[in-house]
Amino acid sequence: MFSLPLLPPLRTRFLPDEIRLTRISSLAATCSKETDDFLYHVADAPMASLFLQEGLPLNTRHPLMLTEQNGLGAWLSKIANYDPGDFSEPAVILRLRRVMVEDALEPDPDHTAEFASRCYLLSGNSF
Protein backbone atom coordinates (compact mmCIF):
# COMPACT_ATOMS: atom_id res chain seq x y z
CA MET A 1 0.00 0.00 0.00
CA PHE A 2 2.76 2.45 0.93
CA SER A 3 5.33 1.15 -1.51
CA LEU A 4 6.26 4.47 -3.08
CA PRO A 5 9.71 5.68 -2.06
CA LEU A 6 9.84 8.65 0.28
CA LEU A 7 11.08 11.90 -1.15
CA PRO A 8 14.41 13.07 0.23
CA PRO A 9 14.13 15.87 2.78
CA LEU A 10 14.31 19.37 1.38
CA ARG A 11 17.74 20.90 1.55
CA THR A 12 17.78 23.96 3.82
CA ARG A 13 21.44 24.99 3.76
CA PHE A 14 24.89 24.46 2.29
CA LEU A 15 27.43 23.41 4.91
CA PRO A 16 30.63 25.51 5.13
CA ASP A 17 33.03 22.65 4.30
CA GLU A 18 30.90 21.45 1.42
CA ILE A 19 31.08 24.78 -0.44
CA ARG A 20 34.55 25.72 0.88
CA LEU A 21 33.21 28.82 2.57
CA THR A 22 36.05 31.06 3.70
CA ARG A 23 36.59 34.58 4.93
CA ILE A 24 38.93 36.65 2.79
CA SER A 25 40.40 40.11 3.11
CA SER A 26 38.84 42.92 1.14
CA LEU A 27 42.22 43.87 -0.26
CA ALA A 28 42.80 40.39 -1.71
CA ALA A 29 39.27 40.23 -3.10
CA THR A 30 39.18 43.60 -4.81
CA CYS A 31 42.78 43.80 -6.10
CA SER A 32 42.83 40.65 -8.19
CA LYS A 33 41.78 41.19 -11.80
CA GLU A 34 41.58 37.52 -12.77
CA THR A 35 38.28 35.75 -13.24
CA ASP A 36 37.92 32.97 -10.73
CA ASP A 37 35.62 30.05 -9.95
CA PHE A 38 34.22 31.61 -6.79
CA LEU A 39 31.21 33.66 -5.74
CA TYR A 40 31.22 36.20 -2.93
CA HIS A 41 28.87 37.44 -0.23
CA VAL A 42 29.36 40.52 1.96
CA ALA A 43 27.99 40.43 5.51
CA ASP A 44 28.58 42.08 8.85
CA ALA A 45 30.91 40.28 11.28
CA PRO A 46 28.26 38.51 13.42
CA MET A 47 26.37 37.22 10.37
CA ALA A 48 29.60 36.13 8.68
CA SER A 49 30.58 34.16 11.81
CA LEU A 50 27.19 32.48 11.81
CA PHE A 51 27.54 31.54 8.14
CA LEU A 52 31.05 30.18 8.73
CA GLN A 53 29.76 27.99 11.56
CA GLU A 54 26.39 26.86 10.19
CA GLY A 55 26.63 27.37 6.44
CA LEU A 56 24.55 29.35 3.99
CA PRO A 57 20.76 29.03 4.25
CA LEU A 58 18.53 28.29 1.29
CA ASN A 59 15.41 30.40 1.56
CA THR A 60 13.20 31.31 -1.38
CA ARG A 61 11.59 34.19 0.54
CA HIS A 62 14.87 35.75 1.68
CA PRO A 63 17.63 34.50 -0.63
CA LEU A 64 21.23 35.52 -0.12
CA MET A 65 22.80 37.66 -2.80
CA LEU A 66 26.09 36.51 -4.28
CA THR A 67 28.29 38.28 -6.79
CA GLU A 68 31.33 37.62 -8.89
CA GLN A 69 34.65 39.09 -7.84
CA ASN A 70 34.34 42.24 -9.97
CA GLY A 71 31.10 43.16 -8.16
CA LEU A 72 32.71 43.39 -4.73
CA GLY A 73 33.94 46.96 -5.13
CA ALA A 74 30.42 48.23 -5.88
CA TRP A 75 28.93 46.20 -3.01
CA LEU A 76 31.48 47.52 -0.52
CA SER A 77 30.93 51.08 -1.76
CA LYS A 78 27.19 50.71 -1.35
CA ILE A 79 27.64 49.52 2.23
CA ALA A 80 30.04 52.40 2.97
CA ASN A 81 27.37 54.91 1.86
CA TYR A 82 24.78 53.52 4.30
CA ASP A 83 24.11 55.09 7.66
CA PRO A 84 26.64 53.56 10.12
CA GLY A 85 23.74 52.34 12.26
CA ASP A 86 22.59 50.07 9.43
CA PHE A 87 25.90 48.20 9.17
CA SER A 88 27.56 48.74 12.53
CA GLU A 89 30.11 45.93 12.21
CA PRO A 90 32.91 45.93 9.64
CA ALA A 91 32.07 44.28 6.34
CA VAL A 92 33.32 40.72 5.91
CA ILE A 93 33.75 39.08 2.53
CA LEU A 94 32.93 35.40 2.27
CA ARG A 95 34.04 33.30 -0.69
CA LEU A 96 32.54 30.01 -1.86
CA ARG A 97 32.98 27.62 -4.77
CA ARG A 98 30.55 28.47 -7.59
CA VAL A 99 30.29 24.90 -8.88
CA MET A 100 29.05 23.68 -5.47
CA VAL A 101 25.99 25.97 -5.48
CA GLU A 102 25.31 26.31 -9.23
CA ASP A 103 21.99 24.42 -9.09
CA ALA A 104 20.65 26.64 -6.30
CA LEU A 105 21.32 29.97 -8.06
CA GLU A 106 19.02 32.23 -9.97
CA PRO A 107 20.02 35.46 -11.73
CA ASP A 108 19.56 38.77 -9.91
CA PRO A 109 19.10 41.29 -12.73
CA ASP A 110 18.58 44.31 -10.45
CA HIS A 111 21.90 44.01 -8.62
CA THR A 112 23.64 42.88 -11.81
CA ALA A 113 22.70 46.22 -13.39
CA GLU A 114 23.55 48.19 -10.23
CA PHE A 115 26.97 46.58 -9.67
CA ALA A 116 27.87 46.12 -13.38
CA SER A 117 28.74 42.53 -12.49
CA ARG A 118 26.78 39.29 -12.52
CA CYS A 119 24.84 38.81 -9.29
CA TYR A 120 22.82 35.81 -8.17
CA LEU A 121 20.29 34.83 -5.54
CA LEU A 122 21.02 31.70 -3.54
CA SER A 123 17.43 30.51 -3.25
CA GLY A 124 17.57 26.77 -3.82
CA ASN A 125 14.58 26.88 -6.16
CA SER A 126 15.88 24.04 -8.31
CA PHE A 127 16.20 21.64 -5.35
DSSP string across 84-122: TTTS-SPEEEEEEEHHHHGGGEEE-HHHHHHHTS-EEEE
The 10 Å Cβ neighbour count of residue 15 is 11
As beta bridge partners, residue 67 has 40, 119
pLDDT along the chain (127 residues), means of 10: 66 93 79 77 95 95 94 89 60 94 94 94 79
CB atoms within 10 A of CB 115: 21
pLDDT at 90: 75
Domain segments of the chain as ranges: 15-122
Task: Return the pLDDT at 26.
Answer: 74
